[in-house]
Amino acid sequence: MQYTNLRDQALEVIRQALVSGEIRPGDIYSAAALANQLGVSSSPVREAMLTLVNQGLMEPVRNRGYRVVAMSEHDLDEVYEMRLLVEVPGTLRAAENATQEDLSRLAAVAAEIEEAAKDGDIARFLDADRRFHLDLLALCGNQRLVNTVAALRDQTRLYGLESLADAGRLVDSAGEHRDFLAAIAERDTQRLETIVQRHLRHVRADWAGVDADN
């Protein structure tokens, strides 16, 4: 069981590094080198990278290691469009099922997101942000929808997060999670839809390090 936990831990760390751009297309990464960075054995890291290969996010390079599959701007536009089509209605349906207990639990995660943003801790920010949105979506009762959004999130590239954190602007974006919960608590569907759409625009624009008008 410890092996599985190490594999899952390695998978999450590598996934975050891929999304944030710490691991970039073009460079080749060996399981041994990444394992050394993580302070674990090579086996769970190799398993994690093979999982990412199966998901189409990395590709093996014979006798050398693994390389991130490049995503073009068109690819990222398609991911953004898919997330709009799936994540917006999914979040609205989840909101209908949210109890006060659910909102309290998600509020604790939202606070963690804000704390990570204030500290400039990108890894913790990404982890908490992922948990917030997938846990919220899980309330819709459709696990396939949640899995689809999780896969789309893994294909997203957020190269602008570090500069936003350095400029102190990530805190403002982090605060939007409280807006999610307030709209859900007030059963304000129209407001919630607007917030989700705005949040996804951040992901494709300033969080990704590109001009929102492009």
**pLDDT digits 0-9 by tens, 62-110:** 888 998 888 788 988 999 999 999 999 999 999 999 999 999 999 999 9
More confident position, 12 or 196: 196
**Rounded CA gap, 146 and 214, in Å?**
29
Domain boundaries, the chain: 2-68, 73-208
Q: Please state the pTM of the whole predicted model.
A: 0.80
DSSP 213: T
**pLDDT beyond 80 at 150:** yes
Q: Are 186 and 77 in contact (CB under 8 A)?
A: no
Residue 159 confidence (pLDDT): 65
CATH number for the region 73-208 comes to: 1.20.120.530
Helix (H) or strand (E) holding 58: strand 58-61
**Rounded CA gap, 15 and 100, in Å?**
31
**pLDDT beyond 50 at 129:** yes
List Cβ neighbours of 123 (8 Å cut-off, separation of 6 or more): 13, 16, 17, 20
**Rounded CA gap, 4 and 118, in Å?**
32
Residue 158 confidence (pLDDT): 66
Q: Are 174 and 117 in contact (CB under 8 A)?
A: yes
Does domain 2-68 correspond to CATH entry 3.30.565.10?
no
Average model confidence (pLDDT) across the chain? 86
Helix (H) or strand (E) holding 66: strand 65-68
